[in-house]
A and B are shown apart, each in its own frame.
Chain A
Amino acid sequence: MATKPTVAPSLLFPRDIFAALSPSPFLLAHLSPQTQDTPPIRPNGRTAAEFRKPTINTSSLTHCSGSAVVRLGDTAVVCGVRAEILLASDIPNPPASNPTIRSSNPSNTTTNGDEDDATEVSSLSLLVPNIELATGSAPTHLPGSPPSALAQSLTSRIRSLLLSTCLVRAHSLRITYCPPPVTSDPEIPDAPPEEEVKAYWTLYIDTMFISLDGNAFDAAWAAVVAALRDTRLPKAWWDEDLERILCSDVVGESRNLELNGLPVAATFAVFAPNGGLGIVQDDEEEEKAWVLSDPDAFEEGLCLEAVTVTVDCTGRNSRIRRIEKNGGGLIGRELMKSVARRAEERWKEWSAILEKGNT
């Protein structure tokens, strides 16, 4: 390294070589403190429960309805939301339930409305999230090959979370048209003109990783949420003479996308050097394991078990929107509670930054 101009004869390895040669004992040595009063510090200088501080920058892309750049330590993500129009007449197999009935009640925000929203948005695939890792963001993700397993799983996780949280309401994506009342026919009593859905806004949510250093999901999800919060849809209407959808380019007439709550994802990795099955042998001392918040790429490579908790504390009481867990059995009921509490703390941090980013 450049920091060592003179090579001193040494019996010990420098830090980075030790980390590369035997990563697991390296991390273990960092986490098990030598003395009682020193807290365990991870190699990246954080304590086990410490997250990286995020930064957000919104509205930086010209050709997007909404965009965000999120930085989480050495992980950097750009997300752009583009709104395009899907004509209702172009939908090959319209959903079985008639959307015209529900559109007459756009302020339907009750819980059963959530389910309808999700089916409508997913069956029409109005949200098209995609994640690109092959931008040179990490040496393992190089272009020239189809999207890696990580990219595919991230994309599908983001999509299912978008749908299950009902983050984007279906009624905010509809473009409705109210035909003028027909007065020429005196036979029919003045039936109220029925509002019909002429088109839908389709949101293309493209996320590009600029740099990847662990915890891709949290960063990508935060970028998606921040970009959606930043999205402005122009005022759109059905023009009868031209028979097409027209939009107004006046900023004052456009509206922000109505979002349902503010779900925030927090990922934890479990470092268990002795296997991590959660089984304690009688003759051995208690199995040691650490739950590391917001793991970086080095830690992710050593941890088998990972938990992602998505919480939303916008209302009076916080709600867990999703728990994803794989790779081990160390986090049981008791530990899960403390993990959820850590996720709640993280929500406060994110929400403060997301609010600030939009002003």
Chain B
Amino acid sequence: MADRRRINAPSGGTSAPIFASTVVKNPKFLQSLRPTRTRQPDQLRKIFLKTGLTPSASGSAYLEIPLLLPTTAQSLIPSRSSLKLTCAVHGPKPLPRSAPFSPHLLLTTTVKFAPFAARARRGYIRDSSERDLGVHLETALRGVVIGERWPKSGVDVIVTVIEGEEDGWWGDDITAGANKGGGWGLMSVLAGCITVASAAIADAGIDCVDLVTGGVAAIVRNPDAKGKGRDDGNGEDSYTVLDPCPAEHQEIIATCVVGYLAGRDEITELWVKGEPGATTEKLVDRAVHAASATATVLREVVKEAVELKYRDVIGGLNGGLKASTFSSEVEMAG
């Protein structure tokens, strides 16, 4: 079925290039490329967060988890992916006349991956995983926004994933063929979505009970790296890590994402994937820990943005007469 509103791929169908070094049966060489986790199990990756990227929107934010080490460009195969998200918030705006009465703010969330977000090219039409993420994001935000203050209005939260987290190491896809389990990358993407949407909502000036942040924790098993982490009693060599990068772990047993309000100690969204068994509660605890670490970054960013926005007012309050120099001539004429 061709999409007649877009330019389509050649009818013969195309395939991603296959690199010779991965085809030659040399598993040792391939394994040597496998990335490993160099962080402590409870150490998060650095976050870059900035608000006000889209001036045409009411509020916007950009989140990036940059690569720790700049990859030396020796190979054309991208070694790993970094997370890059943009979020735009439009509204609150009046609902269309045809819409039924709503006593509170209607929240619409959309999560869309760019075609170049992952190793395999993605389509323009939203697929089920993107819809799923949208629903999870809506759940996380719904409990935070004070919707009663905007009856008969709606707000759109749109997150674009410019670059997403991977579901696993690319070498495993080649050697094992089918990917085992999968979908681990979505968990980190969702946590990023929650944080970036929270920053954008704050930038838009929509009233919230608190700033919500996303956090991820995972139970992983690395057969090669014994004794590297704490033993959680779940297995002989499995341990819990915060902010997992799926490419760095050979096997992930379970992952948990929370949307967490650090100020009120509340969870608005909880998503557990895999088989955590008896350690579920502990896993959720660790995810909350990750979320509260992110909250400190988010608070700083929002505070900085507010200071920048209201610099004139703050300056005016401190400097008295200084404020009048900022007001335009039109006002003074009155």
Residue ranges of A at the interface with B (Cβ–Cβ < 8 Å)? 2-5, 8-15, 18, 61-64, 67, 74, 76, 78, 80, 82-87, 90-92, 124-126, 128-130, 132, 135-139, 142-144, 146-147, 152, 155-156, 159, 202, 204, 206, 208, 210-213, 232, 234, 236, 239, 242, 244-251, 254, 297
How many contacting A-B pairs (Cβ < 8 A)?
A: 215
Picked from B7, B18, B75, the residue with its CB within 8 Å of the CB of A250 is B75
| Interface pair A8/B14, CB less than 8 Å apart | no
| Interface pair B12/A143, CB less than 8 Å apart | no
Task: Confirm or deny: B278 has a beta carbon within 8 angstroms of a beta carbon on chain A.
Answer: no
Known: A135-B160, A136-B156. A82 touches B15 (CB 8 A): no
| Interface pair A251/B17, CB less than 8 Å apart | no
Instruction: Give chain B interface residues in 162-176, CB to chain A under 8 Å.
Output: 162-163
Told that A78-B114, A142-B156 touch, could you supply 11 new A-B pairs with CB distance under 8 A?
A84-B17, A85-B17, A86-B10, A92-B11, A126-B10, A128-B7, A136-B90, A143-B126, A204-B115, A246-B23, A249-B76
Closest to B78 in A: A62
| Interface pair B75/A249, CB less than 8 Å apart | yes
Picked from B19, B110, B114, the residue with its CB within 8 Å of the CB of A249 is B19
| Interface pair B116/A11, CB less than 8 Å apart | no
Instruction: Jot down 18 A-B pairs with beta carbons below 8 A, ordered by A.
Output: A2-B310, A4-B327, A10-B333, A12-B330, A82-B121, A84-B15, A85-B15, A90-B12, A124-B10, A136-B87, A137-B54, A137-B88, A144-B110, A206-B115, A208-B162, A246-B20, A246-B23, A248-B21
Closest A-B pairs by Cβ, 9 of them:
A10-B334, A136-B88, A136-B158, A90-B12, A80-B116, A84-B14, A211-B54, A206-B115, A247-B17
- Give the CA-CA distance A139 to B21 in the complex, in Å: 47
| Interface pair A61/B162, CB less than 8 Å apart | yes
Known: A9-B334, A61-B162, A130-B6. A249 touches B77 (CB 8 A): yes
Task: Confirm or deny: B56 has a beta carbon within 8 angstroms of a beta carbon on chain A.
Answer: yes
Taken residue by residue from 304 to 334, chain B's Cβ proximity to chain A (1 for < 8 Å, 0 otherwise) reads as 0000011011001100000100111011011
| Interface pair A212/B56, CB less than 8 Å apart | yes
Known: A5-B313, A246-B23. A204 touches B121 (CB 8 A): yes
Q: How far is the CB of B63 from chain A (nearest CB, A)?
A: 13
Closest to B82 in A: A62
Q: How far is the CB of B192 from chain A (nearest CB, A)?
A: 16
Closest to B317 in A: A5
Which residues of the other chain, A, contact B249 by a CB distance below 8 angstroms?
Answer: none
Q: How far is the CB of A318 from chain B (nearest CB, A)?
A: 29
Which residues of the other chain, B, contact A152 by a CB distance below 8 angstroms?
Answer: 5-6
Taken residue by residue from 1 to 38, chain B's Cβ proximity to chain A (1 for < 8 Å, 0 otherwise) reads as 00001111111111111111111000000000000000
Which residues of the other chain, B, contact A146 by a CB distance below 8 angstroms?
Answer: 5
Residue ranges of B at the interface with A (Cβ–Cβ < 8 Å)? 5-23, 53-57, 60, 73-78, 80-82, 86-90, 93, 108, 110, 112, 114-119, 121, 124, 126, 156, 158, 160, 162-163, 309-310, 312-313, 316-317, 323, 326-328, 330-331, 333-334
| Interface pair B326/A3, CB less than 8 Å apart | yes
Which residues of the other chain, B, contact A3 by a CB distance below 8 angstroms?
Answer: 312-313, 326-327
- Give the CA-CA distance A57 to B44 in the complex, in Å: 27
Picked from B19, B22, B158, B323, the residue with its CB within 8 Å of the CB of A135 is B158
| Interface pair A86/B56, CB less than 8 Å apart | no
Closest to A18 in B: B330
Picked from B18, B108, B119, the residue with its CB within 8 Å of the CB of A245 is B18
Which residues of the other chain, B, contact A78 by a CB distance below 8 angstroms?
Answer: 114, 162
Which residues of the other chain, A, contact B312 by a CB distance below 8 angstroms?
Answer: 2-3
Most chain A CB atoms below 10 A, which of B53, B93, B108, B327: B327
Known: A3-B326, A204-B115. A136 touches B124 (CB 8 A): no
Most chain A CB atoms below 10 A, which of B13, B60, B118: B13
- Give the CA-CA distance A63 to B78 in the complex, in Å: 6
Which residues of the other chain, B, contact A80 by a CB distance below 8 angstroms?
Answer: 114-116
Q: How far is the CB of B29 from chain A (nearest CB, A)?
A: 12
Q: How far is the CB of B311 from chain A (nearest CB, A)?
A: 9
| Interface pair A92/B18, CB less than 8 Å apart | no
Q: How far is the CB of A296 from chain B (nearest CB, A)?
A: 10
Closest to A244 in B: B18
Known: A10-B334, A136-B90, A146-B5. A2 touches B18 (CB 8 A): no
Which residues of the other chain, A, contact B21 by a CB distance below 8 angstroms?
Answer: 248-249
| Interface pair A74/B18, CB less than 8 Å apart | no
Known: A204-B115, A206-B114. A135 touches B313 (CB 8 A): no
Picked from A5, A76, A147, A234, the residue with its CB within 8 Å of the CB of B53 is A76
| Interface pair B114/A208, CB less than 8 Å apart | yes
| Interface pair B17/A236, CB less than 8 Å apart | yes
- Give the CA-CA distance A212 to B56 in the complex, in Å: 7
Which residues of the other chain, A, contact B126 by a CB distance below 8 angstroms?
Answer: 143
- Give the CA-CA distance A74 to B7 in the complex, in Å: 27
| Interface pair B163/A62, CB less than 8 Å apart | yes
| Interface pair B316/A5, CB less than 8 Å apart | yes
| Interface pair A202/B9, CB less than 8 Å apart | yes
Closest to A246 in B: B20
| Interface pair A202/B14, CB less than 8 Å apart | yes
Q: How far is the CB of A63 from chain B (nearest CB, A)?
A: 5
Q: How far is the CB of A73 from chain B (nearest CB, A)?
A: 9
Picked from B17, B158, B333, the residue with its CB within 8 Å of the CB of A12 is B333
- Give the CA-CA distance A94 to B129 in the complex, in Å: 37
- Give the CA-CA distance A42 to B155 in the complex, in Å: 32
| Interface pair A142/B90, CB less than 8 Å apart | yes
- Give the CA-CA distance A297 to B10 in the complex, in Å: 35
Known: A136-B54, A144-B110. A91 touches B158 (CB 8 A): no
- Give the CA-CA distance A250 to B21 in the complex, in Å: 9
Which residues of the other chain, A, contact B75 by a CB distance below 8 angstroms?
Answer: 249-251
Closest to B117 in A: A63
| Interface pair B12/A15, CB less than 8 Å apart | no
- Give the CA-CA distance A246 to B80 in the complex, in Å: 21
Which residues of the other chain, B, contact A12 by a CB distance below 8 angstroms?
Answer: 330-331, 333-334
| Interface pair A210/B121, CB less than 8 Å apart | no
Which residues of the other chain, A, contact B23 by a CB distance below 8 angstroms?
Answer: 242, 246
